[in-house]
Amino acid sequence: MNENSKESPDLVQLSEAEKKRLIRSTRRTDLRRIIGALFVIYGVLVTIMGIVDPATDAAKTGGLHINLWTGISMLVAGGLFFLWDKLAPVPEEDIVASAESVEIKKAEGEGKLG
Amino acid sequence: MLLADASSGIRLSLSWVDYLMLFLYFATVLAIGIAAKRKVKTSMDFFLSGRSMPAWITGLAFVSANLGATEILGMAANGAEIGMATLHYYIVGAVPAMVFLGLVMMPFYYGSKVRSVPQFMLRRFGKSAHVVNSIAFAVSNVLIAGINLYAMAIIIEAMLGWPQWVAIIVSAGFVLLYITLGGLSGAIYNEVMQFFVIIAGLVPLTIVGLHRVHGWSGLKESLMHTEGVSRLHLSAWQGTGIGDVTNPIGANWLAIVLGLGFVLGFGYWTTNFTEVQRAFSAKNMSAARRTPLIGAFPKLFIPFIVVVPGLIAAATVGNQFADGSLTYNEAIPKLIQMYLPNGVLGVAVTGLMASFMAGMAANVSSFNTVFTYDIWQEYIKPKMPDDYYLSVGRWITAIGVVVGIATAFLAAQFGNIMTYMQTLFSFFNAPLFGVFILGLLWKKMTPAAGLWGYIAGIVAPTIVWIAYLNNESLFGSATAETMYGAIWSFVAVIVVSVVVTLFTKPKPVEELKGLVYGIGTLDMKSDVVAGDAAWYRSPALLGTGALVLCVLLYLPFL
């Protein structure tokens, strides 16, 4: 089972335009942006709850304005996700490598490699 | 005042804002599934994310896959019932195993290019052991998914008032959607998102809880005045002397270290494909090795937002646990009900929902891989084009979820039998570690020894368990029984494997390249990328750091 397959599959060559499009579309839906957006929206909602009705907060928690604190923390966390995404985007070669190795992955999926 | 609103079950009153957050969460789950779908072109993309994931994602998914509903609620329940001894499940019972996986075992797993843990069994020990392992894994995972689904439905019914079948269908339905669409990437990306939402829900709960009991010292103070709680609840190691066990965990330190830490911990974290699969999806050897090591750090801090709330519940509503009006599993929902105002309440409920789905998705996404590659491709329909296996994967995901749902409804009918089955399944992992570690170190160990050692390792703890069911005085607690059962399982594996090896024929050495320590060389560097060499990405450093933290975190709770 472990003989290295001689007819090893080739990489698919992508044109520059295809690569560009692939990189752009992959980065647009980066997981960090999705989580960041969710946290920012939650943060806004929770902060508003804290501003609108601070008395209920304090009554339930024994004096802690937990909605305000949690809301602001989630806003900051959401912002950090966006910052992280901006500072360290997914490397271009990772995105391209995955697309170019389609044939290799097919062979591996068929149990022909390894 | 503290107990003023601690009556009337765990029903929550959600406002429209809380429901809006729940709705946004479900929408995000689907969006992630759809985004992941665009990258699914081959069966490898579907089952192993095309081996393309960066280490921070696989590392967080590694922890999150284990953060299921039964885990969070169950560990908080342990916190309320046995106290800080629950830390053992997070420290000695998890982190050494994760470090061992990253430093020692992952090079064999990832380097041999196997697509699943059962496939490693196949390479090292041949078909008989592989068949038993694959079927045991596939069957137990689907049924565990169903049993957890039921556990979740009970809690959701109690918290939100949804009928059980609505809770089951909604959460199973979403898991089905995002896995059939995005495959393992859909599951993993969601696990990472779920991880952060779970944290965002549990941190405020812990803060408010601690504030309510006047901080850590106040918590200690009020625990001392709680019925059935002693100083030993605040300590992880006191009362675990051999022959002098007074700790509520009911086991001595040797059983904790060997049973929980060595056999159960290593069995679960190093050979359970549900976990290890996350590392298999990493983009290269370096990222695969770092997966469990990165996961170890959040793992070490989770007890502070799970076990501590359990202790807070023991201190504040201990009387309700004592008189039976509240079960220990309801510790976290009860605190949510008592302490969280609308707003944060929505985040916490969403966090619990996220943990329910993370656990189930992890079971389903590892089940479909083992079923397709190890059972269907290996024994039923080999040599088909890749597209065929991709579509088998999607179909079997749907079938697996449906069987899971059916199991959940069965569990609702026969609750007790299901608890027994769950215990039975827990016997499948521990022996796997014994078989693998012996097989990794000892090139003479034969295929027959692998098979019979594995089976003996399942049978031995089953016998111990049945003996315990018949005579409960054998062990200090059910928890202690699992630790001793695990030790017996390991002993059975080693003894039977050695004996069988003496009488059977080993595999030729050239077939063991890359599967046994010291035979052939493991290629650790061929796929390095820029940045892997950074000092903070060194597996040895990360592993050592995690182990040092283990010791440090025990110190305040000796």
- Tens digit of each residue's pLDDT (9 = 90 or more) over A31-42: 999 999 999 999
Q: Least CB-CB distance to B341: which of A25, A60, A93?
A: A60
Rounded (10°) angle between helices A92-100 and A16-28: 110
Burial of B529 (0-12, 13-18, 19+ CB in 10 A): middle
Contact by Cβ (8 Å): B68, B362: yes
Q: Which of B455, B509, B494, B438 is nearest to B105 (CA)?
A: B438
Residue type, A81: F
Is the pLDDT score of A7 beyond 60? no
**Confidence band of B475 (pLDDT split at 50, 70, 90):** confident
- Tokens 């510790």 sit at which residue? B331
Contact by Cβ (8 Å): B208, A61: yes
**Predicted local distance difference test score (pLDDT) of residue B6:** 41
| List of chain A residues whose C-beta atoms are within 8 Å of the C-beta of residue B38 | 25
Arithmetic mean of pLDDT, B493-520: 91
Is the pLDDT score of A92 beyond 90? no
Asked whether residue A42 is assigned to any structural domain, the reply reads: yes
**Considering only residues 209 to 228 of chain B, which have any Cβ-Cβ distance to chain A shorter than 8 Å?**
211-212
* Secondary structure of B1-42 as H, E, C letters: CCCCCCCCCCCCCCCHHHHHHHHHHHHHHHHHHHHHHCCCCC
Say yes or no for a CB contact (<8 Å) between B193 and A74. no
Domain positions in chain B = 16-424, 426-522
The CATH-assigned architecture of domain B16-424 is: Up-down Bundle (1.20)
Say yes or no for a CB contact (<8 Å) between B386 and A110. yes
Q: Which two tokens stand for residue B431?
A: 């022996």
**Predicted local distance difference test score (pLDDT) of residue B530:** 74
- Tens digit of each residue's pLDDT (9 = 90 or more) over B325-348: 888 989 999 999 999 999 999 999
How far apart are the C-alpha atoms of B539 and B86, rounded to whole Å?
Answer: 28
**Predicted local distance difference test score (pLDDT) of residue B172:** 94
> For chain B, what is the mean pLDDT?
90
**Most confident region among B132-146, B223-237, B252-266 by mean pLDDT:** B132-146
Asked whether residue A23 is assigned to any structural domain, the reply reads: no
CB proximity list for B240: less than 8 A, separation 6 or greater: B247, B249, B251, B252, B253, B256
**Predicted local distance difference test score (pLDDT) of residue A2:** 43
Whole-Å CA distances, B485 to A37, B202, B206: 47, 33, 34
Asked whether residue A68 is assigned to any structural domain, the reply reads: yes
**Predicted local distance difference test score (pLDDT) of residue B8:** 53
Buried b / exposed e along B271-309 (16+ C-beta atoms within 10 A): bbbbbbbbbbbbbbbbbbbbbbbbbbbbbbebbebbbbb
Say yes or no for a CB contact (<8 Å) between B200 and A41. no
**Predicted local distance difference test score (pLDDT) of residue A114:** 57
- Tokens 């089940």 sit at which residue? B367
Please indicate whether residue B531 or residue A83 has the higher confidence score (pLDDT): A83
Arithmetic mean of pLDDT, B286-290: 95
Say yes or no for a CB contact (<8 Å) between A70 and B115. no
Is the pLDDT score of B537 beyond 80? yes
**Predicted local distance difference test score (pLDDT) of residue B417:** 73
Is the pLDDT score of B444 beyond 90? yes
Size of interface A-B (CB pairs under 8 A): 147
Q: In angstroms, what separates the C-alpha of B414 from chain A's closest C-alpha? A: 39
**Predicted local distance difference test score (pLDDT) of residue B480:** 85
Arithmetic mean of pLDDT, B247-273: 87
CB proximity list for B356: less than 8 A, separation 6 or greater: B68, B69, B148, B152, B156, B171
**Predicted local distance difference test score (pLDDT) of residue B385:** 95
Q: Which two tokens stand for residue B151?
A: 């556990």
- Taking residue A24's Cβ as centre, other Cβ atoms within 10 Å add up to 10
Compute, in degrees rounded to 10, the torsion defined by CA atoms A75, A81, A82, A87: 140
Compute, in degrees rounded to 10, the torsion defined by CA atoms B334, B338, B339, B345: 70
**Predicted local distance difference test score (pLDDT) of residue A8:** 63
Please indicate whether residue B428 or residue B389 has the higher confidence score (pLDDT): B389
Is B192 an interface residue toward A (CB < 8 Å)? yes
Say yes or no for a CB contact (<8 Å) between B31 and A56. no
**Confidence band of A94 (pLDDT split at 50, 70, 90):** confident
Contact by Cβ (8 Å): B358, B68: yes
The secondary structure of residue B444, as a DSSP letter, is T
**Most confident region among A7-21, B74-88, B238-252 by mean pLDDT:** B74-88
Is the pLDDT score of B545 beyond 50? yes
Question: How many structural domains compose chain A?
Answer: 1
**Predicted local distance difference test score (pLDDT) of residue B199:** 96
- Tens digit of each residue's pLDDT (9 = 90 or more) over B143-193: 888 888 888 888 899 899 999 999 999 999 999 999 999 999 999 999 999
**Considering only residues 9 to 28 of chain A, which have any Cβ-Cβ distance to chain B shorter than 8 Å?**
25-26
How far apart are the C-alpha atoms of B279 and B285, rounded to whole Å?
Answer: 9
Is the pLDDT score of B464 beyond 50? yes
**Predicted local distance difference test score (pLDDT) of residue B493:** 96
How far apart are the C-alpha atoms of B26 and B302, rounded to whole Å?
Answer: 24
CB proximity list for B87: less than 8 A, separation 6 or greater: B236, B303, B307, B553, B554, B557
Please indicate whether residue B544 or residue B3 has the higher confidence score (pLDDT): B544
Q: Residue A67 sits in which domain range?
A: 38-109
* Secondary structure of B64-77 as H, E, C letters: HCCCCHHHHHHHHH
Percent over 90 (pLDDT), chain B: 66
How far apart are the C-alpha atoms of B23 and A45, rounded to whole Å?
Answer: 13
State which residue of chain B sits closest to A54, comparing Cα positions: B341
**Predicted local distance difference test score (pLDDT) of residue B425:** 79
- Choose, out of A28, A44, A47, A49, the residue to mutate when testing the contact with B (most B CBs < 10 Å): A49
Q: In angstroms, what separates the C-alpha of B418 from chain A's closest C-alpha? A: 35
**Predicted local distance difference test score (pLDDT) of residue B325:** 87
* Sequential DSSP letters for B224-288: HTSTT--GGGG-SSTTEETTEE-STT---HHIIIIIIIIIIIHHHHHH-HHHHHHHHTBSSHHHH
**Predicted local distance difference test score (pLDDT) of residue B415:** 66
Q: Least CB-CB distance to A49: which of B17, B123, B384?
A: B17
**Confidence band of B242 (pLDDT split at 50, 70, 90):** confident
- Tokens 């169903």 sit at which residue? B146
Least confident window among B54-58, B92-96, B241-245, B476-480 = B241-245
| List of chain A residues whose C-beta atoms are within 8 Å of the C-beta of residue B189 | 31, 34
